[in-house]
Amino acid sequence: MSFYNEYLEFKNIDFSTFFSKVKKSDILRAIDKDGLDKYDFLALLSPSAEGLLETMAQRAHSLTTRHFGKAILLYTPMYLSNHCVNKCSYCGFNTSNDIYRKKLSLKEIEEEAKTISSSGLRHILILTGESKKASPISYILDAIKILKKYFDSISIEIYPLTEEEYREVITAGVDSVTIYQEVYYEDIYDRIHISGPKKNYRFRLDAPERACSAKMRGVNIGSLLGLWDWRKEAFFIGLHAEYLQSKYPDVEISISLPRLRPHTGSFDEIYPVDNKALVQIMLALRLFLPRAGITISTREEESFRDNLIPLGVTKMSAGVSTEVGGHSSKTKSDNQFEISDKRSVEDIKKMLLSKGYQPVLKDWMHI
C-alpha cells in the first residue's frame, strides 16, 4: 500500500463542480465539527470558504493552543552542499544553472555548527543539493557525527533515501526528515523535473513512508506552492499527511508551506498563491489535522510571518542563510532562493515573547 493509491483515487475529482456546490452551511458545519472527513477539508479550501476565514481562524487558534500550547520551536537550516544532478526548472540549484558550486569540508561543517549553536539554537536542519555522488551517505554520516556535539536534534533535507539508508542515518543521530513532493499532480511533476533521479515521481512520493517505516521520529512533508493550482495542491498535501498520521501514529507528522521565491534561472509557469490563499491553506490544514505541526519559513516577509503565528504555526526558522556555509564562511556561494525574513534568532525570540509565545530552542534530545 502506498499513498499513490489514494492519489489515484482522488486525482480525477471534478474540483470545479464540487466547489460550485459548497454552501456556507457546509463550511460552518465543518468548522464546528470534531474529526473532519476529506470532503469537509476540501470544502474549507473552496472559494466559498474565503468569506469565513475569520471564523476558521478562531477555531484554528483554539485547536493549536489545545494541542501545542503557545510555544514555537525555532531552528535554522545549514546548507552543506549545492551540488545537484537534477534539472528542475524551478530551482536555483538546477544542474544547468551557472552558479558557484560548493561543498563544506568536515572542518567547515564544524565551524558552521559552532557559529549556529552560539545563537542558542539546538535544532538544526541540514540540506544538500540532490547529488549522491557529491554528498554520499558516508559524507552525511560524518557530518552528523560532528553536529551531534552541538545540537540535540538533527533533521535532514536531502535526496530521497531507501528505507535501509533512513535506518542508517537514524542510528547515526538523525531524528526527523523533511522531503517535499514539490507538486503532487503527476503530469506537471514530470514536465518540470526535466532530468535526473528526481524525475522518479513514485520514489519521491513514497520517501516519507519509507522514513516512517524506518522509525524516524518526525517526518515533514509539503509542496512548493505555486507549481499547481493551490486548492488542489493543498488538498493532496492534507491527504498525504493524514495517510501518514493514520498509518504511523507514533511518528510526528508535520507540514511546511513554502511558496516559490526568486532564484537563479528563470521559471514562469507559476500558479499565483497570494497571502489570503496561504492563510486559507493553513487554516484548512489545522482544522483537518489538529495534531500536525505546521512550519513557516523565512521565504515569507516579517510582518506576514508574525501574523500567521496564532493561526496554527508550531515551528519557525530563524537566523537563516540559504548559502552553503552561509553562517560562518567568508567565501560565499549562490543562494538556493532569496529569503524575505532576515531577522536573527534573538530578534525572532523577542518578537515571539512580545506576542505571548514561548520560543523553544530545545524540545528534544536524541539519546
pLDDT digits over 297-307, tens only? 888 999 999 99
Averaged confidence pLDDT in the chain: 92
- What pLDDT score does 97 carry? 72
Residue 331: the pLDDT is 56
| CATH of the structural domain 3-360, one choice from 3.20.20.70, 3.30.110.70, 3.40.50.20, 3.40.50.1100 | 3.20.20.70
The mean-pLDDT minimum among 70-74, 85-89, 144-148, 162-166 falls in: 85-89
- Asked whether the predicted pLDDT for residue 234 surpasses 90, the reply is yes
| pLDDT tier at 322, thresholds 50, 70, 90 | confident
Q: What residues does each domain of the chain span? A: 3-360
Three-state DSSP at 347 gives helix
Averaged over 328-346, what is the pLDDT?
A: 71
User: What region, left, alpha or beta, does residue 79 occupy, with left being phi > 0 and alpha being psi -120 to 50 degrees?
Assistant: beta
- The C-alpha atoms of residue 163 and residue 157 are separated, in whole angstroms, by 15
Confidence of residue 330 (pLDDT cuts 50, 70, 90): low
Q: Predicted confidence band at 92 (pLDDT cuts at 50, 70, 90)?
A: confident
β-strands 358-360, 71-81 pairing: parallel
Confidence band for 179, pLDDT divided at 50, 70 and 90: very high
* Alpha-carbon span 297 to 299, nearest angstrom: 5
Q: Are 289 and 239 in contact (CB under 8 A)?
A: no
Identify the three-state secondary structure at position 58.
helix
**Tell me: the pLDDT tens digits for 190-214?**
999 999 999 999 999 999 999 999 9
Q: Is the pLDDT of residue 365 over 70?
A: no
Are the beta carbons of 177 and 206 closer than 8 angstroms?
A: no
CA dihedral 198, 204, 190, 245 (to 10 degrees): -150
Residue 242 has pLDDT above 60, yes or no: yes
Q: What pTM does this model have?
A: 0.93
Question: What are the beta bridge partners of residue 75?
Answer: 317
pLDDT at 337 over 80: no
Is residue 228 over pLDDT 60?
A: yes
For residue 185, is pLDDT > 90? yes
pLDDT above 50 (res 367): no
The predicted model gives 27-43 an average pLDDT of: 96
